[in-house]
Structure 1
């Protein structure tokens, strides 16, 4: 019955139908994989035979982003294929190509300290690179296309090419699920806690729950993540937020001792996930084991969920586009080298994502300002190049009104430790001016990790928190 209202808020042509919940169940596996011990790995080995594999590397070719760190990036996809046991969910769509409305990049930080699920909205308009279609023909590049069409056009390989092209982040593996396993997963963990700000009785989704806390599974969980009119403002982004909270609660439940220490529950969860899972050929059992060892001991508080920085599309109010915060965010993911260190008492520590820097070249070396600006941008700073400045041996950090703390944070990353000074002429409020001198060597690492993002959700958040 749920496939009869696949997109209740704004009816679309059948080519856009799909379940954005599908990819969320992948994190059910990932939560166990990253939190589990070798016992979890042993159970997984028994279920490994359930997994289907695709050879995507052959389709991607050699021209891909360079790997800048030892993080692991796993693309999670939901597929609404009607093959096999999925046929009962909408027989009229049986002969149509599968679609994906859920695309999540799971970023596992180096050292196993933290992980982040990055959601790409289905309505995000992007540049689409040329891809091989499911029939082997070449689909030309497009300057403007909706991101979820990449999966319909060319499957996982096309989605990987598309996200790599807009983010310059190297994707190591992918996981793809269909919707038949979702109800089994929520049941295998014993249900997922949710909190409703008001009672809902939605005739389209058949969701009927009172205000307050509930533990839901199976059909009820499926309706909860799909309902749109009965909860929130009815937007796709609002529903993504609700799904992120749901997945945080699911991951927290899966990572709890009640699941990990119970062999039957753990094996039931593994079976539920793997029966509807497809991965790349390189994501083998030994690789899973290595990831599990790397991430062993990670707490739910270190699992974060964000939506890629985006805003309204000026060409179409029903679509979204990446905004100016996207590139610094992608740079922070690319350069995530270590878990961020907690600042010491009295230490000034403002994250790069909150610092605007204007770079001037006073070194006399041609192109130096651009090189320094690129380095700053790669660490997540908001950067512009101001041009040449009078020649100076010493690097200087100047600032406009309201940017004194930002200037101190930037100066702390420069080996020569210049003392920040207020700018008397040409200052811009809130902006730090970096004059690169002849003594410039390099920019120290900002401490690694990905700065806190606006609207991010953590797996251990209070489920009733607005």
Structure 2
């Protein structure tokens, strides 16, 4: 049998191109980073097993019934995933009085937290506060009805409370939301202090008297008011001052919080874990269906999740022509993201038994795989590589073929002496029998991803590529 012809020359992908320059803004974001408290709480609840501890934590959470405000026209519940609407309130009431005198209460942070079935991954999807969206008719918090309208997304909360924001996000995404959680300034400070500080990385020294913030250049740990000032400042020279730039920085902060909250050292210490959860529980408000038993079930599903499986993305937006201080959701780019989350319905299952092979497969960790994208779908190679890494394979290269088409089929090739390695990859990816490639490197396996995809049974389906996404396990200085 003649070996296959060598694949076309490949070129390795670099970093994704930066998003378009954001429109100028009138008024900046007030707060976003403190919403990381909620993310962290959800990710470490699984470490508490004592029922008494659970009861104490549960008793500190304020709850609200929103069932009668959501209406009947809601997306269907498709699967066992958990979708939680996380909102940040800029209320100046109570402990928050020291942060200004603004009247009213708005949701300046809106994140849809998606938890895959079986705790396979967690995705925080941010909605920019000045996005112009269709807001459905909502019941007012104090009675009456707010008619449907085109308005900024954060106005939904201002006029109809969390239930109106809930309805709005469901109507935009067609994703069924299970619960909501709200947190305030004081909760953010307490959780950062309970973590003994959170690591950040600053590209240059910051001196912002308005935010009472002074930071040296580079890697450092921030606590309390300093951490709050870091996530609130919009005049300290961090980024371009726009909402979109601020989201990137604050998502990096959330990723750092999650990374520390899921650290094995903390999770191994019940005292630290309890203190951490207790510090923030008193600042959380949630729907009354997020009961003690619901939290315990959620925690069981998340037990064992690592920072490497937590990602943050921003809903793709574009300019809003009538007002350069506003943006609107880019439907062409956002629709695939919403669909991927909506259809994340496959609970991870063990991989099927490998088919008979001429040689016994090797353990995945001993298999070196080079992944090449042969399609016109940008980012598919990296997504497939991420799946392989989750299954234990060693991915040493990710690239694209010089010539990409929509008709090529997925192939597994292997260099001299790599038959057993290729058999291991073929066992994890049924339907693609491996073939030798004489021009390949000794011991190397090549996965050429074609139009029929590269499905790994038991691995989470890959999300479409989103420019600027942040992973919770990456180095904090990567975003500086």
TM range (shorter): 0.7 to 0.9
| In structure 2, distance between residues paired with 1:43 and 1:11 | 46
Is 1:66 the counterpart of 2:76? The answer is yes
CA drift of 1:24 comes to: 3.0
Residue 315 of structure 1 aligns to a residue in which SS? coil
Residue 72 of structure 2 aligns to a residue in which SS? coil
Change beyond 3 A, Cα 1:214–1:253: same
Is 1:208 the counterpart of 2:208? The answer is no
Q: Which moved more, 1:260-269 or 1:455-464?
A: 260-269
CA drift of 1:348 comes to: 7.1
| In structure 1, distance between residues paired with 2:165 and 2:89 | 12
Residue 404 of structure 1 aligns to a residue in which SS? coil
CA drift of 1:181 comes to: 1.4
| In structure 2, distance between residues paired with 1:37 and 1:446 | 24
8 Å Cα contact 1:111/1:338 also seen in 2: no
Is 1:333 the counterpart of 2:346? The answer is no
Matched residue, 1:462: 475
Q: 2:33 aligns with which of 21, 24, 29?
A: 21
8 Å Cα contact 1:125/1:321 also seen in 2: yes
CA drift of 1:177 comes to: 1.0
- Aligned-residue Cα RMSD (Å) equals 3.2
Q: 1:283 aligns with which of 290, 295, 301?
A: 290
Matched residue, 2:60: 50
Describe the superposition over 1:430-453 as per-residue Cα deviations: whole angstroms up to 9, x where unpaired: x989xxxxxxxxxx9996342442
Is 1:320 the counterpart of 2:321? The answer is no
Which runs of structure 2 are paired with 1:106-125 in the superposition (5 Å)? 106-125=113-132
CA drift of 1:27 comes to: 1.2
CA drift of 1:21 comes to: 3.5
Residue 127 of structure 1 aligns to a residue in which SS? strand
Is 1:408 the counterpart of 2:414? The answer is no
Describe the superposition over 1:44-79 as per-residue Cα deviations: whole angstroms up to 9, x where unpaired: 432211101111111112210012221100000111
Which runs of structure 2 are paired with 1:162-201 in the superposition (5 Å)? 162-201=168-207
Matched residue, 1:371: none
| In structure 2, distance between residues paired with 1:406 and 1:80 | 51
| In structure 2, distance between residues paired with 1:350 and 1:287 | 44
Which runs of structure 2 are paired with 1:303-318 in the superposition (5 Å)? 303-318=310-325
Residue 345 of structure 2 aligns to a residue in which SS? coil
Normalised by the length of structure 2, the TM-score is 0.72
CA drift of 1:344 comes to: 10
CA drift of 1:180 comes to: 1.4
Is 1:153 the counterpart of 2:163? The answer is no
- The structure showing larger relative contact order (alpha-carbon pairs under 8 Å, at least 6 residues apart) is 2
Matched residue, 1:386: none
| In structure 1, distance between residues paired with 2:226 and 2:66 | 35
Describe the superposition over 1:276-320 as per-residue Cα deviations: whole angstroms up to 9, x where unpaired: 101111101111111111111111000000001112222222211
8 Å Cα contact 1:336/1:450 also seen in 2: no
Change beyond 3 A, Cα 1:222–1:350: farther
CA drift of 1:351 comes to: 9.0
Change beyond 3 A, Cα 1:183–1:29: same
Residue 204 of structure 1 aligns to a residue in which SS? helix
Is 1:299 the counterpart of 2:311? The answer is no
CA drift of 1:86 comes to: 2.6
| In structure 1, distance between residues paired with 2:336 and 2:375 | 11
Describe the superposition over 1:210-240 as per-residue Cα deviations: whole angstroms up to 9, x where unpaired: 1111011101101111122321122111111
Residue 134 of structure 2 aligns to a residue in which SS? strand
| In structure 1, distance between residues paired with 2:189 and 2:79 | 36
Normalised by the length of structure 1, the TM-score is 0.74
CA drift of 1:17 comes to: 7.9
CA drift of 1:353 comes to: 6.2
Residue 113 of structure 2 aligns to a residue in which SS? strand
Gaps of 5+ in 2: 1-23, 352-363, 381-401, 412-429, 433-449
CA drift of 1:83 comes to: 3.0
Equivalent residues, number: 378
8 Å Cα contact 2:43/2:299 also seen in 1: no
